[in-house]
Copies of this chain bind each other. A is one copy, B any other.
């Protein structure tokens, strides 16, 4: 394992220090906890908090800033933040508008965010929670009951961030978030596993010719291990899988996110994007938003995911295209 790190115990602290140094005009870290908070004015709106285990950079701290998240709570690598940490995040950004938690569907995260929500309620803070479960690969998984939350979470940050900035109230944001989550679906493929630094070896083994569809962002098993394929065949498998879930018709309007899982060069993301484009054109879909990049990674995993969002509400397109001021959404 060659990684640009120091002691494995110090990864989280050092990473947050580097991140906050770079982005000191946008964010700051709470002294008391691994919580990254926006420097932009946010008293006029509901606060949005997300987070979870680290190892998915730039998620979630990279999405803190005007128009997206108010704060991100950063757990140790692939480990949920504690209820105390989450409560610190909540109390640090609370105002009279309330707080919305956006949580990826992992049992540890759900438990801890819910506990923090209860503790906050005890302090009289109004907190709601939206659970993202966009990964259509499998039902139930190593750390999940139901479906996992993955790259589609970034769309939830962006769209709810837009509505919060527009002044939408907490209850309405919760309703909107629950609706939104139903229209966002993701499927991924791993070419090679990630290495958790403290473990020192890959989370699973794929040989030189193998890939695995549906692997989770913590290396959870996928649904199909097979021989490596050209990009257009990867795209075909993934678009077919999404089609089965969405049951779309020609003329329907969607958006897409091609997400690199950590070690996938942009060149490959652009090529894959082109293959997805071609397939969705054949399907007759109307694609009104598209984006690529490393937004929800899994350490140094090689691979890619494809997220699609059904624009049941055309305002979501404007929401995705609206300007924000964050480190990672451009």
Q: Which residues of A are at the interface with B, using a C-beta cutoff of 8 A?
A: 1-7, 11, 14-19, 21-22, 54-55, 57-58, 62, 191-192, 208-209, 211, 228, 230-232, 234, 258, 262-275, 277, 290-292, 294, 297, 299-300, 302, 304, 327-330
Contacts and interface: CB of A to CB of B under 8 A. Distances in A.
A2 B54 contact: no
B192 A271 contact: no
B271 A5 contact: yes
Task: Pick the most buried of A18, A57, A297: most chain B CB atoms within 10 A of its CB.
Answer: A18
Given A2-B192, A15-B267, A329-B330, 18 more contacts: A4-B191, A5-B267, A6-B232, A7-B230, A14-B231, A14-B275, A18-B277, A18-B292, A19-B273, A21-B273, A22-B258, A22-B291, A263-B263, A265-B294, A265-B297, A266-B297, A294-B294, A327-B330
A3 B231 CA distance: 8
Contact of A264 (B4, B58, B268, B275): B4
Contacts of A328: 330
Contacts of A273: 18-19, 21-22
